[in-house]
Structure 1
Amino acid sequence: MKNSIADLWHFSLSPAGQHTLQEQLHDQIRDQILSGTIKPDIKMPSSRMLASRLGIGRNTVVYAYEQLVAEGYLETRKGAGTFSCHKVPDEFLNAGEPAYSSPLPSGNTASSNLHSGMAALDQFPHEIWTKYTNKAWRKVTKQQLHHDDPMGYYPLRQNIAEYLQASRNIKCNHEQIMIVSGLQQGLFILSKSLLHSDDQIILEDPGYYGLVASAQASGFPIHNLPIDTSGATLPKQTKGLLVTSPSRQYPHGYTMPHGRRAELLKWAYETESLILEDDYDSEFRYSGRPLNSMQGLDGGKRVIYGGTFSKTIFPAFRLGYLVIPKHLIEPVLTFRKAIDSYPGLVNQLSLHAFMESGEFARHIRKLRKIHGRRQKTFIELFTKHLGDLFALLPSDGGLHLVATPHSTVLGKDTRWCELAHNAAIGAAPLSQCFRATSKKHGMLLGFADIPDIDLEERLKKFSNTIRSETDY
């Protein structure tokens, strides 16, 4: 095919269609590849050339190309351009059957739009995930169907340990990994198995409300610990289990400096307390390198490291893990057996296959790039349309931004969040994160799960409705 592909394409894109222009272009290029119209190893037109040919914005082509590269249909060659791959993903080689998992449609149909802090669910690799899930289950053994390890599936724990050692400098081996449904279950198990009658559960204030519910269910007293711009402050006159998120404090996004981490570790040793390190959003940092984990500094003696796959896979996956110091495994394991026997195997097998293949690491790299771009665009457009009403707190990572009002005339943050939801922007009230300290009003605004081409339209709608209601 010597002629330019752009000169041969005859399809058209509809701005009024059910799917966005980016999604339409993605689907139609993919279909051309699958049908053989675009042969392997064909050079694609430049984004500028194709955009001019189709009468669409260049960014629409860029984002469609990036999606197709991530999925394995296109590849970029340094200094040469973008080409169709020699081989397309083999899960699609099924006698011309159509591929059913295209990116999720934009608009206000996805329930994730109603929550702040969601990852880019429209970028989840459905077909690749299905491929490795099917592969895992084709090889399942009778012994695996009788899986009864209360710590979790052994090969998955090995994968998680290797991932944490490489990415977060965690000092551990697979024997220390316990699979849980999430950090809330993890906190409940730890508090009931490790704390004494005179201990307290120490939570950052403001902080994540889900952990409050778990702490209350444990029956132990809760100590609300104020934060400052360095994160959790030093607990005074108390001991027990401190839950802190040093990589990215929720909700403000502060990163805890090394000095504060050392102070908290010293407190834990002096009071014989424990620290549960919630490594919240640590995968998504968009500038510079993250500080090493607190568990890595401690060497895994007084710090229990916890994480989940809710943001890196999807929220409904409900799989997380604890990295437990070796001398604490026995009491934790004993309590786990009493309440839960062992975690379900289905999702563990799928995740193991996904991680073992290298697709998990590729997915994280892809999300980090997409989230970083969407955060930058969101900040620019928010400042343009709403900068006179709200200020955004600085952030170099994570999946939400905190907006605080310039004036109290605007009212309460619960209403602002309702208006944001009406504009299909995920939002949560900042005031609901406070317990004992004085409440502040603001919004936790999700940006990562909004397709790039929808960002300005949604922010404009939010701006118009809040101005109309407040007369500001």
Structure 2
Amino acid sequence: MSGQINAGANARRRTDRMVETLLTPGLNPESDTPLNEQLMLLLQDAILKGHLHAGDRLPASRAMATRLSLSRNTVLAAYDQLMAEGYLESRVGAGTFVSSDLPDHYLTVGDSPKAQTDRPSGRAKRPLSGMPALDQFPFALWARIAGRVWRHAGTSELEHNDPAGYRPLREAIASYLQTARGVLADADQIMITTGLQQGLKFVAESIIPHDRTLILEDPGYPGILRTAESLPHKVAFTQVDNSGAVVPARSREAPGMLLVTPSRHYPLGSTMPVSRRLELLEWARETGAYILEDDYDSEFRYGGRPVQSLQGLDGGRHVIYGGSFSKSLFLSLRIGYLVLPPSMASRVIRHREQTESFPPLSDQMILERFIADGHFARHLRRLRSIHKERLQCFFDTASECLAPYFTLLPTDAGLHVVGLAAPSLAHMDDRKLAAAAHRAGLGAVPLSASYSHAKPQKGLLFGFANMAEADMPARLAQFARELDEITGF
């Protein structure tokens, strides 16, 4: 028995010494990263690399705090977060241990989560076009909020069944939109969706008679066209000029809804002036049609003040406002929303209840806290500064490297740069140009894919925000070499 006690004591001392050796050099009181977050990441790294094994006992929080010259609350915060994420477990009367049921793939990972995100994998080398700076996403903060949210959750969250979505999130969105975009809304007008395509489906099926026409911008977002074509309504198009969508021409077919991107036209990037917005609102009043305003990346304007939302100008009577957090945070979040006119909100939400399952709750709860605690606004301010620098770097470098092949359209907003193909590429399918850009590690989408009936322009939509400035010269130079080889220059 005494041998077993001594063996246990020796094992604890070995673990204590190992923890001290691993952690002490890695803690930096001068860092902007809070000490509890540093401690959490170091412990997580030690577990993932196999320095701490399943079942190893960690020093008590008080002992750890003394050994590392930290406050006990700092240690407790780190332990709590690791318990919430499943790395540690607490055994009553025994202490805190490395979890005994970590998934096998956790135990064979060679690098910490931070190291994995810092080092691009084979799939991550090409930044997606139209994505924000994903390398700047606050992973640890998001994880802490997730842990806190579920630690304080109750049975009401487990029984959640609101077809409109998590009400606190809807309230947070309403407050944010009123301040940031001049949108007139309250929580009862907001419905959480996976994005605008799902929102279009709900509205068209529940509100727009089948003999009415859905009118899309040409050029416009191909995903919206695919959704519109899946519905029983007729689909028509309106031209786009330098001021954005043109007021639809009168026809024998009654319009039901016009879909527009006034803050920044997709794909060409123009901002619709107030005069054109007022013309469209007058058209909607005269025809009885609705306008669906896709405000897909309005958060990212790098010069001047944004133009007020179309919905705010309208007073929320004829305009349905759609937004998404996939562009401002990360694509796989898949949380968007509609702000519906009061006259239609209950009908659309009831249709959703009858035809679709309720939106998943977990990410909605985390996002609500992220917004309500001010993190979303701070993250956007930081991204605007980073994106502005990356935009300038990309534009300057690409203008030099790609001058024989593309004319870049100046922009002070959004997440992509439009490159119009030069005459030297007139014979090329711009899908092949996009493939060449991908080989060079660039995110690019063929411009011609956005056209339906209008004469297509050839070119590429270059993503710049999700690419470090240091990577741009080499990737753009490689793309130029690819083009040299393709064209024989």
Q: Is the shorter-chain TM-score for this pair beyond 0.5, marking a shared fold?
A: yes
Change (3 A) 1:89 1:177: farther
| Equivalent-residue separation in structure 1 for 2:338 and 2:22 (angstroms) | 43
| Equivalent-residue separation in structure 2 for 1:122 and 1:34 (angstroms) | 25
| One-letter identity of the residue aligned with 1:299 | G
TM-score, structure 1 as length reference: 0.80
Q: Secondary structure at the match of 2:132?
A: coil
- Residue 111 of structure 1 and its aligned partner are, at CA, apart by 4.2
Aligned to 1:258: 274
| Equivalent-residue separation in structure 1 for 2:239 and 2:76 (angstroms) | 53
**1:195 pairs with 208, 222, 229, which one?**
208
1:450 aligns with 2:467: yes
**1:118 pairs with 118, 131, 138, which one?**
131
Q: Secondary structure at the match of 2:126?
A: helix
| One-letter identity of the residue aligned with 1:204 | E
Q: Indicate if the aligned counterparts of 2:297 and 2:328 stay in contact, CA closer than 8 A.
A: no
| Equivalent-residue separation in structure 2 for 1:36 and 1:105 (angstroms) | 21
Alignment RMSD: 2.8
| Equivalent-residue separation in structure 1 for 2:137 and 2:115 (angstroms) | 10
| Equivalent-residue separation in structure 2 for 1:103 and 1:170 (angstroms) | 40
| Equivalent-residue separation in structure 1 for 2:176 and 2:456 (angstroms) | 38
My pick for the range that moved more, 237-246 or 179-188, is 237-246
- Residue 107 of structure 1 and its aligned partner are, at CA, apart by 4.8
C-alpha distance after superposition, 1:171-218 (max 9, x if no partner): 111111100111000000011111123311110000000001111111
Counterparts of 1:223-242 in structure 2, within 5 Å, are 223-238=236-251, 239-242=255-258
Aligned to 1:363: 379
Aligned to 1:109: 122
Change (3 A) 1:367 1:114: closer
Change (3 A) 1:158 1:34: farther
Change (3 A) 1:282 1:288: same
Q: Indicate if the aligned counterparts of 1:156 and 1:352 stay in contact, CA closer than 8 A.
A: yes
**2:172 pairs with 155, 159, 174, which one?**
159
| One-letter identity of the residue aligned with 2:117 | L
| One-letter identity of the residue aligned with 1:436 | H
Q: Indicate if the aligned counterparts of 2:267 and 2:450 stay in contact, CA closer than 8 A.
A: yes
Change (3 A) 1:301 1:203: same
Change (3 A) 1:33 1:219: farther
- Residue 362 of structure 1 and its aligned partner are, at CA, apart by 1.2
C-alpha distance after superposition, 1:74-116 (max 9, x if no partner): xxxxxxxxxxxx9999865779x99743572355634482631
1:466 aligns with 2:471: no
- Residue 35 of structure 1 and its aligned partner are, at CA, apart by 3.8
% of aligned pairs identical? 40
Aligned to 1:303: 319
| One-letter identity of the residue aligned with 1:210 | G
| One-letter identity of the residue aligned with 1:412 | D
Aligned to 1:383: 399
C-alpha distance after superposition, 1:11-38 (max 9, x if no partner): xxxxxxxxxxxxxxxxxxxxx9974677
Structure 1 unaligned spans of 5+: 1-31, 45-64, 74-85
Q: Secondary structure at the match of 1:201?
A: strand
| Equivalent-residue separation in structure 2 for 1:38 and 1:113 (angstroms) | 33
1:437 aligns with 2:448: no
Q: Indicate if the aligned counterparts of 2:238 and 2:249 stay in contact, CA closer than 8 A.
A: no
| One-letter identity of the residue aligned with 2:223 | G
Counterparts of 1:51-450 in structure 2, within 5 Å, are 92=78, 100-102=113-115, 104-105=117-118, 107=120, 109-111=122-124, 113=126, 115-238=128-251, 239-409=255-425, 411-450=428-467
| Equivalent-residue separation in structure 2 for 1:295 and 1:280 (angstroms) | 14
| Equivalent-residue separation in structure 2 for 1:424 and 1:135 (angstroms) | 38
Change (3 A) 1:130 1:102: farther
Q: Indicate if the aligned counterparts of 2:404 and 2:424 stay in contact, CA closer than 8 A.
A: no
Change (3 A) 1:250 1:72: farther
Q: Indicate if the aligned counterparts of 2:419 and 2:462 stay in contact, CA closer than 8 A.
A: yes
My pick for the range that moved more, 110-119 or 217-226, is 110-119
TM-score, structure 2 as length reference: 0.78
- Higher alpha-carbon Rg: 2
C-alpha distance after superposition, 1:236-256 (max 9, x if no partner): 225210110100000000100
Structure 1 residue runs of 4 or more that deviate by more than 2 Å after TM superposition: 32-40, 86-95, 97-115
Q: Indicate if the aligned counterparts of 1:169 and 1:293 stay in contact, CA closer than 8 A.
A: yes
Q: Indicate if the aligned counterparts of 1:103 and 1:122 stay in contact, CA closer than 8 A.
A: no
| Equivalent-residue separation in structure 1 for 2:378 and 2:257 (angstroms) | 35
| Equivalent-residue separation in structure 1 for 2:37 and 2:405 (angstroms) | 43
Structure 2 unaligned spans of 5+: 1-20, 39-70, 83-95, 99-110
Change (3 A) 1:150 1:456: same
Q: Indicate if the aligned counterparts of 1:106 and 1:454 stay in contact, CA closer than 8 A.
A: no
| Equivalent-residue separation in structure 1 for 2:248 and 2:23 (angstroms) | 60
Q: Secondary structure at the match of 1:365?
A: helix
| One-letter identity of the residue aligned with 1:331 | R
Q: Indicate if the aligned counterparts of 1:159 and 1:355 stay in contact, CA closer than 8 A.
A: yes
| Equivalent-residue separation in structure 2 for 1:428 and 1:91 (angstroms) | 44
| One-letter identity of the residue aligned with 1:277 | E
Q: Secondary structure at the match of 1:113?
A: coil
| Equivalent-residue separation in structure 1 for 2:429 and 2:119 (angstroms) | 29
Change (3 A) 1:36 1:91: farther
- Residue 340 of structure 1 and its aligned partner are, at CA, apart by 1.2
C-alpha distance after superposition, 1:312-333 (max 9, x if no partner): 2211111100000111112212
- Residue 271 of structure 1 and its aligned partner are, at CA, apart by 0.5
Q: Indicate if the aligned counterparts of 2:127 and 2:467 stay in contact, CA closer than 8 A.
A: no
Aligned to 1:55: none
Q: Secondary structure at the match of 1:240?
A: strand
Q: Secondary structure at the match of 1:437?
A: coil
- Residue 371 of structure 1 and its aligned partner are, at CA, apart by 1.0
Q: Indicate if the aligned counterparts of 1:91 and 1:127 stay in contact, CA closer than 8 A.
A: no
- Residue 141 of structure 1 and its aligned partner are, at CA, apart by 1.0
